[in-house]
Chains A and B, each alone.
Chain A
């Protein structure tokens, strides 16, 4: 009971809502680095996933490599990155880049795997029919496969976002702010209210991201494809939604 009251008191204290270590600043820092990591991870993982899914070549090796990256502990990744990135810049290279790299590496696998799975699970009859109607390979990808796989891909980006938001807390160990600084300082200062408030805020961001991408995923469900290109769908498979990976 006590700790819940303490956390509420901490979170509602106006003093914690201003200044360079206030909640808005920390949330902004946390979101900025998370968004950067998610965009970069998507830019890397989406094209690869689409390519291997569409061509059905090298899919298994791409998935295996991505899963291997998942197995590296993020803190170790940051530790390995620091000596290299400080050569770039003593400030950004120490405080930001190592954590960003760890976040990107963690973000790639769910996006890549879901993109690959989403594309390969599109019914082959549909792609063959599209081919037969004279669509080019690129048109099949953008007009048939991508719309049908969109909700699965979005689910992958969503779970990458959750991973990334959680990993961003590690940045505080290396002097990057973000919500992790409440965890690191809460432990160091023996301040459980600060510590658990940090936990609540990180969890809220992660759940919020998950919900947002879930909503996006549902909005992208193929019923839109239904009306746009009805000829491509047979009545027996109106959904055509592949299993969420």
Chain B
């Protein structure tokens, strides 16, 4: 009993402090409420979320980072829809496929619009802001020796020599229309004997390195490609959905702030992030083991996005 009473006292005092803090920081700038930022669990998503957070902080917003690295889309999508987080970076192609697996195309504009149409009706309305020039797409890669030996530069080259290649594809390949079906229809590649591994994962890269597989499915900004000198085969028939990255923001949050100014901050940031930039930031964090906050802050300062 004593314990719970003390706990209750503690809780109410904590609440008081929070209210007081909110009042004091709120004060004149009531239009800059706390932003609850979230993201997927892998480094690249965390880098984008951290970049949003730092830009917003530099412009007077308070940021709650509890949701950064929250988990896969199965976790972050409901978190955003329920208001557990206000803002998260989203891959517009994969994000669209999460809601409707038939709609994503190789055109980012289309993916953004389609995703916006769906998200307008989710969780009281969610806005898709501008996407980055950077794309983190599904990328089919081979080892350098394989590429040289079989003269592979693009996916159309694969069908003719597929008998000599052991494929490693994503675990959702059999049912994912942009994987098994697209490879068969667009390139004539038979994927039925492929070894199924988590796409863009370390096991996939390891399997390729170990020659367990000869062609693997990684992500285009994945550091393993640079580090292992893998050759990225061009998706010349544009089968893979355009996965540029957009901030998703809850409309009820935007209503509490200066929507145009808030959007401009994130749109200006997104415009500066192209594929090589993102791949480099990703490599600094995941291979060079630098701190995400430092990597992001160095980048933002170099770009003049924060002072």
Contact = CB atoms under 8 A, between A and B. Distances in A.
Interface in A61-95: 82-83, 86, 90-91, 93-95
Contacts of A173: 197-198, 203
B238 interface: no
Contact of A185 (B196, B207, B211, B213): B196
- By size class, the interface of chain B is 20 to 34
A185 B212 contact: no
A10 interface: no
- By size class, the interface of chain A is 20 to 34
16 contacts: A83-B206, A86-B210, A90-B210, A90-B211, A94-B206, A95-B195, A95-B212, A173-B203, A175-B197, A175-B212, A184-B196, A184-B198, A185-B171, A189-B171, A189-B174, A190-B172
Interface of B: 74, 168, 170-172, 174-176, 193, 195-198, 203, 206-207, 210-213
Max chain A Cβ within 10 angstroms of own Cβ: one of B195, B206, B212: B212
Interface of A: 20, 82-83, 86, 90-91, 93-95, 173-175, 181, 184-185, 187-191
Given A174-B197, A174-B203, A184-B171, 14 more contacts: A82-B210, A83-B206, A86-B212, A90-B210, A90-B211, A90-B212, A93-B210, A95-B212, A173-B198, A175-B195, A175-B197, A184-B196, A189-B171, A189-B176
A175 B210 contact: no
B203 A175 contact: yes
B197 to A, nearest CB: 5
A90 B210 CA distance: 6
Interface of A is mostly: helix
A116 to B, nearest CB: 37
A117 to B, nearest CB: 38
A225 B44 CA distance: 66
A174 B213 CA distance: 11
Nearest to A91: B212
A82 B206 contact: yes
Contacts of A188: 170-172, 198
A94 B207 CA distance: 7
B171 A94 contact: no
Contacts of B203: 173-175
